Amino acid sequence: MSIADLPTRTADTSAPLLGVLADRWSPRSYDATAPVDELKLTAALEAARWSPSANNSQPWRFIVARRGTEAFDAVAANLMGFNQAWAGSAGVLIVALAETVDENGQERPWAKYDLGQAVAHLTVQAHHDGLHAHQMGGFVADGLREAFGIDGRFTPISVTALGVVGEPEALPEALREREIAPRSRAALDDILLVNA
Ligand SMILES: Cc1cc2nc3c(=O)[nH]c(=O)nc-3n(C[C@H](O)[C@H](O)[C@H](O)COP(=O)(O)O)c2cc1C
């Protein structure tokens, strides 16, 4: 089955969405031979840079590791086994770090919130540009700290695989099934605690 034959990845919504939001999805099969276009990578990082944050504090940092570099291998080596099974084919691995404590030792209470929003913007821009992104929480934070000498003020929160989507056949069987399973969400009514 080619990617073109996949059941729709488009979100089933009760009101029309921007196409990029409806169509964004998180693949695990990436084309291990395709480089990520540098302008598109820069655009994704710019989208993160221009996202809003509490008091414009911009409490985010990124480690950008292109496939074929030592940095990429160091990030990949610190993914949990399940993620190592697929994410090494992505063109770029991006570690997202929250500045949870500022340079004066004060807590930044919204740092993780702001970082998540920045990564969301990154994924949407990437998808708009024809790339695919897949965020991961399954990684060893202390391993990344050691590998990259990360200051204690910064907390690694996620690793995002970014690249050119590949064919589901390239995945081991269990992952292949998940790759082509329909995307699903809780119903809108179930997530609105109050809708007065
Ligand atoms: C914070 C976060 C952590 C995640 N961790 C993992 C992970 O470790 N491994 C993985 O395969 N997917 C991971 N995902 C991907 C989610 O499983 C995926 O976004 C979700 O199933 C919805 O699918 P969709 O993005 O295709 O709509 C993570 C996503 C987020 C936002």
Ligand 1: residue of 3, 23, 136 to mutate (most ligand atoms within 8 A of CB) is 136
Closest CA to 35 of 69, 71, 80, 66: 66
Q: Counting atoms of ligand 1 from 1, which one is nearest the CA of 87?
A: 11
Residue nearest to atom 31 of ligand 1 (CA): 135
- Ligand 1 center from residue 24 Cα (angstroms): 12
Distance CA 136, CA 164 (A): 17
Tell whether the model's pLDDT for residue 1 goes beyond 90.
no
- Mean pLDDT within 139-146: 98
pLDDT at 100: 98
Tell whether the model's pLDDT for residue 8 goes beyond 80.
no
Ligand 1: residue of 121, 134, 144 to mutate (most ligand atoms within 8 A of CB) is 134
* Band of residue 128 on the pLDDT scale cut at 50, 70, 90: very high
- Mean pLDDT within 10-17: 95
Q: What is the pLDDT of residues 51-105, one digit of tens each?
A: 999 999 999 999 999 999 999 999 999 999 999 999 999 999 999 999 999 999 9
Residue nearest to atom 1 of ligand 1 (CA): 137
Q: Is 97 exposed, middle or buried (0-12, 13-18, 19+ CB in 10 A)?
A: buried
Q: What is the pLDDT of residues 161-184, one digit of tens each?
A: 999 999 999 999 989 999 999 899
Structure letter (DSSP) for residue 182: P
Tell whether the model's pLDDT for residue 3 goes beyond 60.
no
What is the per-residue burial (b if ≥16 Cβ within 10 Å, else e) of 36-64? Answer: beeebbebbbebbeebebeeeebbbbbbb
Contacts of 20 (CB under 8 A, 6+ apart): 124, 127, 128
- Ligand 1 center from residue 27 Cα (angstroms): 9
Residues with CB under 6 A from ligand 1: 25-26, 83, 135-138, 158, 183
Ligand 1: residue of 10, 21, 26 to mutate (most ligand atoms within 8 A of CB) is 26
- Mean pLDDT within 108-136: 98
- Mean pLDDT within 4-27: 88
What domains appear along the chain, each with residue ranges and CATH number?
27-179 (3.40.109.10)
Q: Counting atoms of ligand 1 from 1, which one is nearest the CA of 139?
A: 8
Closest CA to 159 of 171, 172, 147: 147
- On average, the pLDDT of the chain sits at 95
Residue nearest to atom 13 of ligand 1 (CA): 136
Q: What is the pLDDT of residues 26-37, one digit of tens each?
A: 999 999 999 999
* Band of residue 9 on the pLDDT scale cut at 50, 70, 90: confident
